Amino acid sequence: MMSARPTEVHLQLSSTAGTLNPALQDRNGKPKRSVSTIIHILNDLLGASPQYRAQMVQRQQQQRHDRHAERAAARAAARAAARAAGRSSE
Please answer whether residues 47 and 53 qualify as being in contact, where contact means their C-beta atoms are separated by less than 8 angstroms. Answer: yes
Number of domains forming the structure of the chain: 1
Q: Does residue 37 lie within any of the structural domains?
A: yes
Boundaries of domain holding 78: 22-88
Q: Does residue 76 lie within any of the structural domains?
A: yes
Q: Does residue 26 lie within any of the structural domains?
A: yes
**What would the DSSP string read from start to end of 50-83?**
HHHHHHHHHHHHHHHHHHHHHHHHHHHHHHHHHH
Tens digits of residue pLDDT in 28-67: 888 888 898 888 888 888 877 877 778 888 889 999 999 9
Rounded to two decimals, the pTM is 0.40
Q: Does residue 27 lie within any of the structural domains?
A: yes
Q: pLDDT band for 90, please (50, 70, 90 cuts).
A: low
